[in-house]
């Protein structure tokens, strides 16, 4: 799936303001980060016992870049983050995907990768919650767990010997996602963080930032005891209007930030949504020209202020 880019009807003044803000943001970014191309030397202190990560190699006792991108440092780890690159899975990544096919003992999912991913029945938390060997009956009932086009949250388990990407969903926080919107953004806008699941309590909304660039915004769901799941589904058959409006406002804020090329975090998304409410911007007008320009200018002011402090 692909998100449709914003088609803004900018006036000449708005176009000039937006261009000026984005050019200054780009200038600030180039000054605060080290951009490298293939074979560039990355300055490091070998006495610190650095760890060479993705996009780096050692040549003539120097650390060099093997891809084009931006140098990132996390404690002793040094790696190159490629820009505008396709999603590259890593073990432990939280991803959101869509079921394409039900095959024997497995589901095949689209996850914004060069190949589809596989979620084995044996790597799935069963509805009864009992840890046991899967049976022929479980295999026959796979469609009652996930069916085609269902949106699913899972974790990257690793690559198999045949090259297929394996997923797992062995806890209650993973599984089927309902009553919300699935958004697609460039995966490089979602940085790997300690937390990718966010409960926006104020709005009754769950936000899942998939490392693969698929983002879920939906009604908050409390983890239920397995015995209560069926009764709960019977009682709650609709999403309140206010919650649906919050979902749409947050989703449009994500679309706007993605169109501007800003990194996506829960704080930034909520800040943008709240700014639209404070300015009495209608949900549909979040994707309008004026609020787009104002958001870029606000981000520029924030980054300038941060550099000065």
Beta pairing partners, 71:
80
Is the pLDDT score of 24 beyond 70? yes
Q: What is the pLDDT of residues 217-239, one digit of tens each?
A: 999 988 665 444 444 444 457 88
- What is the band of 60 on the pLDDT scale with cuts at 50, 70, 90? confident
Closest CA to 167 of 218, 131, 212: 212
Is the pLDDT score of 2 beyond 70? no
Is the pLDDT score of 118 beyond 90? yes
Is the pLDDT score of 126 beyond 80? no
Is the pLDDT score of 84 beyond 70? no
Q: What is the pLDDT of residues 155-201, one digit of tens each?
A: 999 998 877 899 999 888 899 999 999 999 999 899 889 999 999 99
Are residues 157 and 203 in contact, defined by beta-carbon separation less than 8 angstroms? no
How many other CB atoms are there within 10 angstroms of residue 167's CB atom? 26
Closest CA to 178 of 218, 230, 126: 218
Q: Pick 20 or 4 by higher pLDDT.
A: 20
Determine the Cα–Cα distance for residues 63 and 65; give it in Å rounded to an integer.
7
From 177, 192, 211, the end of a domain falls on 177
* Residues 302 and 237 placed together within one structural domain of the fold: yes
From 83, 110, 145, the end of a domain falls on 83
Q: For helices 266-278 and 241-260, what crossing angle results, to 10°?
A: 110
* Residues 98 and 219 placed together within one structural domain of the fold: no
* Residues 46 and 126 placed together within one structural domain of the fold: no
Q: What is the pLDDT of residues 131-167, one digit of tens each?
A: 677 888 888 989 999 999 999 999 999 998 877 899 9
Determine the Cα–Cα distance for residues 233 and 222; give it in Å rounded to an integer.
12
Q: Pick 281 or 227 by higher pLDDT.
A: 281
Percent of the chain with pLDDT over 90: 51
Residue 76 token pair:
């002793």
Q: What is the pLDDT of residue 134?
A: 85
| Mean pLDDT of the residues in the chain | 86
Q: What is the pLDDT of residue 32?
A: 61
- What is the band of 208 on the pLDDT scale with cuts at 50, 70, 90? very high
* Residues 146 and 255 placed together within one structural domain of the fold: no
DSSP 203: G
From 151, 177, 203, the end of a domain falls on 177
* Residues 68 and 122 placed together within one structural domain of the fold: no
* Residues 24 and 47 placed together within one structural domain of the fold: no
* Residues 153 and 236 placed together within one structural domain of the fold: no
Close Cβ partners of 43 (under 8 Å, ≥ 6 residues apart)? none
- Residues 290-295: contacts with CB under 8 Å, at least 24 apart: 290/14, 291/256, 292/6, 292/8, 292/18, 292/256, 292/259, 292/260, 293/10, 293/14, 293/17, 293/18, 293/21, 295/256, 295/257, 295/260
* Residues 189 and 300 placed together within one structural domain of the fold: yes
* Residues 222 and 307 placed together within one structural domain of the fold: yes
Residue ranges making up the domain that contains 232: 1-32+179-309
Close Cβ partners of 114 (under 8 Å, ≥ 6 residues apart)? 86
Q: What is the pLDDT of residues 238-272, one digit of tens each?
A: 889 999 999 999 999 999 999 998 999 999 999 99
Burial class (CB in 10 A: 0-12, 13-18, 19+), 92: exposed
Segment 56-71 shows an average pLDDT of 85
Closest CA to 94 of 154, 6, 177, 4: 154
Task: Return the beta strands (E) in 170-276 as ranges.
Answer: 175-177, 180-184, 197-200, 205-209, 214-219
* Residues 295 and 206 placed together within one structural domain of the fold: yes
Number of domains in the chain: 3
* Residues 132 and 70 placed together within one structural domain of the fold: no
């Amino acid at each position: 799936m692909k998100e449709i880019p914003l088609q803004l009807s900018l006036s000449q003044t708005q176009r000039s303001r937006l261009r000026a803000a984005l050019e200054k943001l780009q200038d600030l970014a180039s000054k605060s980060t080290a951009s490298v191309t293939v074979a560039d030397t990355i300055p490091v202190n070998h006495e610190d016992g650095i760890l060479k990560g993705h996009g780096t190699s050692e040549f003539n006792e120097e650390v060099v870049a093997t891809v084009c991108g931006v140098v990132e440092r996390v404690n002793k780890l040094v790696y190159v983050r490629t820009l505008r690159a396709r999603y590259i899975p890593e073990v432990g990544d939280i991803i959101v995907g869509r079921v394409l096919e039900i095959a024997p003992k497995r589901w095949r999912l689209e996850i914004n990768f060069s190949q589809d991913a596989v979620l084995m029945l044996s790597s799935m938390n069963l509805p009864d919650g009992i840890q046991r060997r899967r049976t022929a009956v479980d295999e026959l009932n796979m469609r009652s767990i996930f069916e085609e086009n269902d949106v699913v949250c899972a974790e990257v388990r690793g690559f198999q010997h045949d090259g297929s990407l394996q997923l797992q969903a062995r806890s209650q926080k993973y599984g089927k996602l309902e009553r919300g919107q699935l958004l697609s953004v460039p995966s490089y806008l979602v940085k790997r963080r300690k937390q990718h699941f966010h409960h926006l309590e104020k709005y009754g909304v769950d936000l899942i930032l998939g490392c693969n660039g698929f983002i879920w915004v939906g009604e908050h769901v409390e983890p239920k005891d397995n015995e209560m799941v069926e009764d709960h589904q019977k009682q709650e058959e609709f999403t309140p209007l206010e919650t649906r409006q919050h979902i749409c406002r947050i989703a449009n804020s994500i679309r706007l930030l993605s169109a501007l090329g800003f990194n996506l975090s829960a704080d930034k998304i909520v800040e943008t949504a709240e700014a639209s409410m404070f300015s009495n911007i209608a949900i549909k007008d979040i994707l309008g020209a004026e609020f787009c320009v104002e958001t870029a200018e606000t981000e520029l002011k924030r980054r300038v202020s941060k550099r000065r402090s």
